[in-house]
Amino acid sequence: MSQPHEGDDGTQRLPVIEQSPDPAAAAGAPGLDQSVSAADYDPVPVRADGEGGKAGRFWSVRRVPAALLALMLLAASGLFLYDIAAVRAHRSAMRWRVRLADWLAGHPVDDVAVLAGAGAVALLGIWLIVLAVTPGLRGILPMRRESAAVRAGLDRAAAALVLRDRAMEVAGVQSVRVRMGRTRVVVRALSHFRELDDVRADLDAALGTGIRELGLAGPPGLAVHVSRPVRKG
């Protein structure tokens, strides 16, 4: 699978396509990119009638948060293990642990500093839970599944570029800004001639067709705003 990217020359980024691997064929296939495995994404059930299953969102592997958490836990575990081993060997405990124990002994549970520390730890835990239960990869829009063996996703910036080009083909449109969301597309156009209602109607028709042709699993809604350019001077 190749992730979408944009070249230095501003060319359009390609959709993300994931194909279920064939272990027998992938074992000796030359030139096969196996840098990202299917385990990085959520499994999608296959319908009994042989059609493509549910086109769910792509899941992010979130390597950076996982690596940071692992390093923090490794460092904390190493310090505590070393300190416990030193105490068991009849050596003095580390100064930071002695000071921490003395500080906690002199501060009750309802102390402001203790509550602030507990709140920070709770927020960190909530953040990790949110990362664990949410898909991520908000920049990739899932496409309709025609086959159970293939999953495809379209980069949000590439989809906005396609709709922008489609809008610029409408007569009377001078410039267009497209904001592509997962559930809604907001288009703001400037028209230098023709009636604004006529331009808006043509944009609704052209962009509605363009959204359907993107092949998205959940076609977003469309909001079109047309106005006149501001005259200078």
pLDDT at position 33: 38
Res 53: pLDDT: 59
- Kindly report the average pLDDT of the chain as a whole number: 79
- In this structure, the chain runs to a length of 233
pLDDT at 25: 43
Write out the DSSP string of 72-111.
HHHHHHHHHHHHHHHHHTT-PPPHHHHHHHHHHHTS-TT-
Predicted local confidence at residue 233, as pLDDT: 57
Q: Which of 18-32, 99-113, 132-146 has the lowest mean pLDDT?
A: 18-32
Q: How confident is the model at residue 51 (pLDDT cuts 50, 70, 90)?
A: low
Q: How far apart are CA 173 and CA 187, in angstroms?
A: 12
Q: Is residue 232 very low, low, confident or very high in pLDDT (cuts 50, 70, 90)?
A: confident
Q: What is the pTM of this model?
A: 0.59
pLDDT of residue 107: 84
Q: Which of 29-38, 56-65, 69-78 has the highest mean pLDDT?
A: 69-78
pLDDT at res. 80 = 87
Closest to 66 measured CA to CA, from 40, 35, 43: 40
The Cα-based distances of 173 to 37, 58, 176, 230 in angstroms read 44, 35, 7, 14
Which H/E stretch holds residue 157? helix 156-168
Neighbours of 191 (CB within 10 A): 23
Residue found by looking up tokens 């962009």 in the block? 207
Read off the pLDDT of residues 171-205 as tens digits, 9 standing for 90 and up.
999 999 999 988 899 999 999 889 999 999 999 99
Give dist(CA 123, CA 183) in Å, integer.
Answer: 29
Give, to the nearest 10 degrees, the angle between helix 156-168 and helix 196-213. 140
Closest CA to 149 of 35, 47, 19, 28: 19
Mean pLDDT over residues 129-158, rounded? 86
Weakest-pLDDT range from 8-12, 60-64, 113-117, 145-149: 8-12
